[in-house]
Amino acid sequence: MKVYKAYAKVNIFLKITGSRGAYHEIISRFMRVANLYDMLSFVPKTSEKFEILGDFSCTTEQNTIYKAYFALKCATESASLEKLMRTHAVRVNKAIPAFAGLGGGSSDAATYLKMCNEVLHLGLSLRELAEIGLKVGADVPFFIYGYDAANVSGIGEIVEEFEEDLLELETFTPKVEISTPKVYASYRENFYKPIDIKTIEFFKKTKSKDILKSMSANEANDLFAPALQEYKELKNHYQYGWHFSGSGSSFFRVKEK
C-alpha cells in the first residue's frame, strides 16, 4: 500500500487581528517543515469497526482522522468510503509530537482526506476538501493545499500561497503539554491588542527569513506571552534566537549551516 507523508508546520509569525464570537481571527505565515512528518497508509483488517493503528493518547472518536472520516462521509455519503473503512485500518507512524503547535493532528486529518479522495476517485477539488477539513480543525485547510508557505487568515479558512524558498528548519518540543484554548483565553483576558490593517499588510508581504532575523519570539507570536504566563516552565526551555510555533510548546529556528 502507498505511504503518504503528513508534514508538520511552524508559524513564522502569528498575530491576532480581531475576534469572531468565541474565535480569534489571525494572520499567520505557515511554513511546512520538510524533515518532520507522520506517515499514513491503509492496511487490511478483519474487524469491521473504524480502526487507527498508531501511538495516540486519545480515543478513536477524539482522533482528527476519525473526525475527518465522519466529515467526509457526511459531505459525500460515499458507500465506497464506508466499505474502505470496514476493510482497512489507517496506520499512522507518528513523528510529529502532540500538543506541540506543529499541526500534527491537522496534517494527519488533511492527509487522510486526500488519501480517500485519491484511492476512491471521489473527484473532490482541493477547495472542496478544504471546506470539509475546516469542520475538523482551523489548520486543516493549509495542509490540504500542500503549499510550502502560506498566509493564513480569518480563523484559518483563508489560505493564500506565499511564494518563497522553503527554509531548512529545526524544531525542539519540550515536554510541556499545552492547551490551545487556555492560551487563547489568557491572551483575550490579559494581552488582547489586535494589530491594525497597515501592520497586517507588512506581515503578509515580508519574507519569512526576514521576520525571523528581525523579530524576537515575543514580537512575532502574540501567543508566546500568554503561553509563558500559563505555563511558567516554558521559560526554562526558551533560548535566544529560537521562535515559538502556534500556541506551543515547540520552538524552532533556521538550521545553522
Of 131, 157, 180, 168, the C-alpha closest to 31 is: 168
* Residues 121, 140 contacting (CB under 8 angstroms): no
136 touches 106 (CB < 8 A): yes
Catalytic residue among 9, 15, 67, 114: 9
How far is the C-alpha of 224 from the C-alpha of 245, rounded, in Å? 9
Count Cβ atoms within 10 A of the Cβ of residue 43 and give its class: 0-12 exposed, 13-18 middle, 19 or more buried.
exposed
Active site residue 55: no
As a whole number of angstroms, the distance between CA 248 and CA 99 comes to 7
DSSP secondary structure string, 219-243? Answer: HHBTTHHHHHHH-GGGGGT--TT-E
Select which of 38, 108, 139, 222 is catalytic.
139
Q: CA-CA distance, 222 to 239, in Å (whole number)?
A: 18
Active site residue 114: no
Residues with catalytic roles: 9, 139
